Chain A
Amino acid sequence: MSKREKQAIGQQILAAFRAAGAQEVAPDILLEAETLLDLYGEDIRARAYVTQDPIRGEMMLRPDFTVPVVQMHMANGAEPARYCYLGEVFRKQDHGETRPEHPRDNEYLQAGFELFARDPEADAEVFALFHDILAPLNLQASMGDMDLLMDAVRALPLSGARRAALLHHIWRPRRFARLLARFATPAEARSFPESGAPWTGLRSPAEMQARIDRLRGDAAEAPLAPQWVERLERLFAIGAPAPEALRQLRELVAEIPDIAEAVDRLERNLAALAARGIDVGAVHFDASHGRHTMEYYDGMTFSFAAAGHEDWPPVASGGRYDALAAVLGQAQGRSIPAVGGIIRPGLVHELGGQILGKAA
């Protein structure tokens, strides 16, 4: 498959992003590993190419654009701001036990759009932009909302420590389920016999004591009532055409009043999409959609997938990442809500390359 053709498709997408008001940026290919490691954790090392610079230390070949674009914006961007980019990202695959017959590309193009704005219509703007560019490909659009799930977790009648633990692990489904199951059963009092071993390592006795105190306090907590677990499971399992999902969510609001705000927001988002001419009945809303995406999404998430290519990654994906933007803006004392996404021109090419229905 020719690189030139993929590049040409990428340029078409870029033109559509520019037409939507975005300024084109060209972040570096070599990025400081430390920032990425701190944000993504050790898993990124299994996916990104790491290399060593004698002066700058550990560097990574750009595994995605979001971090450098946010950094660029925080350093000198005015607001609101729209950015677009086209370039290679580099991802290695660790094969586990068996080498795949057709390894995925380890270097491929991404065309992306990032919007930094306090506008309540930002979600709809980004989703609609991607939807319109990709319309001729008849992809399956899916949407989720991490904030909806997090609001439901925050609403659980639990101690602050238990809530924080659940929120922290919301992206790790089995660990989350285990924690929830544990909180729903009477806590067992645990003993912490002194080991007799001398203290060693950087973690201090005070840190251990703080955790032991927390665990002792936790043992006194009443178990979470089963109906809360059941409500949460029902919410997480919602998956239906968006209008039907919205109806199911409305019903759940009676039982989990704290999700009312997020449900209202979803309703406004869907109305805004409909006003932009999108058939929201064809959009699949999956409450848990964001749990399978990058950990930094904390609001709306979306993806566009090709039917019949279940082994492919989505042709396009994105979402809201306010917390990530806040973390990266800390040094400048800046914070602004952010939402964005990427399209893979290589996959668009494999699907025939016909894009830009309405946007053209």
Chain B
Amino acid sequence: MIRLGVPSKGRLMEQCFDWFAARGVRLSRAGSDREYAGRVDGAENVALVLLSAGEIPRELMAGRIHLGVTGTDLIREKLAGWRSHVEELAPMGFGHADLILAVPACWSDCDSLDDFATIARDFRAEHGFRLRIATKYHRLVRAWLSAEEVADYQLVDSQGATEGTVANLTAEAIADITSSGETLRANHLKIIGEEPLLRSQATLLRSLSAGDETEVRDFVARIGL
């Protein structure tokens, strides 16, 4: 029996169900909407496991699920050395979101990361502490800024309502996932840089440690991958 992990809530779950349905496998919740057990029709030997999208990387790494659906962002943030633990089988074409760096829209002198690096340096000299970037994507943001050779900043943890931290004076900039940018605009923030740190979307992944490789291969072939 192979175990397929799928996000347990909302639009992401429905889009997952649609994606598999279009490939001949019908996933559904067993019983009521509140129950986190699932049904699989159209494939034998597959069990559906409904999980929080944020836990799917960990479950894949541990080999407790054979296949799983989650965002590229979560895989790269949560699994150090992710290529050694999971294989990306297919981008699924939904759940698109970009990890971006945003600063106050009123900073008319800040259009690029070079501007940002200079502003960070000035800020530190003026305020005596490093410019704060609020984020929950610590590893991704740190690795990116290090590769871009930006110094003079610090990360502060923000697990939600990150866009509000600038107005609340607990951060000067934010690094977060955005799809439409509306929340950013509503909080008077703007994205800097041409390219986002990461373009994320829902992805079907295979655990490299869960075993049962023949059965996994058969199922993957069955959905046309």
List residues of chain A with CB under 8 Å of any chain B CB. 37-38, 41-43, 45-46, 94-100, 165, 168-169, 172-175, 178, 192-195, 197-203, 205, 207-208, 210-212, 215
Check A197–B188 contact: CB distance below 8 A.
yes
Residue of B nearest to A198 (CB): B188
Contact count A vs B, C-beta below 8 Å: 117
Assuming A168-B121, A201-B167, is B81 touching A97 (CB within 8 A)?
yes
Q: Which residues in A have their C-beta under 8 angstroms from that of B154?
A: 37, 41-42
Question: In the complex, what's the smallest C-beta–C-beta distance from B182 to chain A, in angstroms?
Answer: 14
A227 to B155 Cα, complex, angstroms = 40
- Sample of 17 A–B contacts (CB below 8 Å): A38-B130, A41-B153, A43-B142, A45-B138, A46-B142, A96-B80, A97-B76, A97-B81, A173-B149, A175-B149, A178-B114, A195-B108, A199-B106, A200-B167, A211-B118, A211-B122, A212-B108
Question: In the complex, what's the smallest C-beta–C-beta distance from A102 to chain B, in angstroms?
Answer: 13
List residues of chain B with CB under 8 Å of any chain A CB. 76, 80-85, 104-109, 114, 117-119, 121-123, 126-127, 129-130, 138-139, 142-143, 145-146, 149-155, 166-167, 169, 172, 187-190
Residue in B83, B119, B149 with the greatest tally of chain A CB atoms within 10 Å: B149
Residue of A43, A194, A199 touching B104 (CB-CB under 8 A)? A199
Q: Which residues in A have their C-beta under 8 angstroms from that of B130?
A: 37-38, 41-42
Check A197–B152 contact: CB distance below 8 A.
no
Extra pairs beyond A45-B138, A99-B80, A202-B172 (9, CB < 8 Å): A43-B142, A43-B146, A94-B143, A96-B143, A98-B83, A99-B85, A168-B121, A197-B188, A199-B106
Residue of A nearest to B117 (CB): A175
Residue of A nearest to B154 (CB): A42
7 A-B pairs closest in CB distance: A99-B81, A95-B81, A197-B105, A99-B84, A172-B149, A175-B149, A192-B108
Residue of B149, B151, B172 touching A174 (CB-CB under 8 A)? B149
Check A41–B106 contact: CB distance below 8 A.
no
Question: In the complex, what's the smallest C-beta–C-beta distance from B117 to chain A, in angstroms?
Answer: 7
Q: Which residues in B have their C-beta under 8 angstroms from that of A202?
A: 127, 169, 172
Residue in B106, B122, B146, B150 with the greatest tally of chain A CB atoms within 10 Å: B106
Check B155–A45 contact: CB distance below 8 A.
yes
Residue in A42, A45, A95 with the greatest tally of chain B CB atoms within 10 Å: A42
Residue of A nearest to B166 (CB): A201
Assuming A43-B146, A94-B139, A96-B143, is B123 touching A207 (CB within 8 A)?
yes
A207 to B109 Cα, complex, angstroms = 11
Check B152–A200 contact: CB distance below 8 A.
no
Residue of B81, B121, B166, B172 touching A98 (CB-CB under 8 A)? B81
Q: Which residues in A have their C-beta under 8 angstroms from that of B118?
A: 165, 211
Question: In the complex, what's the smallest C-beta–C-beta distance from A251 to chain B, in angstroms?
Answer: 31
A97 to B139 Cα, complex, angstroms = 11
Check B123–A41 contact: CB distance below 8 A.
no
Residue of B nearest to A206 (CB): B126
A208 to B115 Cα, complex, angstroms = 11
Check A200–B81 contact: CB distance below 8 A.
no
Check B151–A46 contact: CB distance below 8 A.
no
Check B142–A45 contact: CB distance below 8 A.
yes
Check B81–A203 contact: CB distance below 8 A.
no
Residue of B nearest to A174 (CB): B149
Residue of A41, A43, A98, A203 touching B84 (CB-CB under 8 A)? A98
Question: In the complex, what's the smallest C-beta–C-beta distance from B209 to chain A, in angstroms?
Answer: 12
Check A46–B166 contact: CB distance below 8 A.
no
A95 to B167 Cα, complex, angstroms = 35
Q: Which residues in A have their C-beta under 8 angstroms from that of B155?
A: 42, 45
A13 to B155 Cα, complex, angstroms = 39
Residue of B nearest to A41 (CB): B151
Residue of A nearest to B146 (CB): A43
Q: Which residues in B have their C-beta under 8 angstroms from that of A96?
A: 80-81, 143
Q: Which residues in A have their C-beta under 8 angstroms from that of B149?
A: 169, 172-175
Question: In the complex, what's the smallest C-beta–C-beta distance from A323 to chain B, in angstroms?
Answer: 15
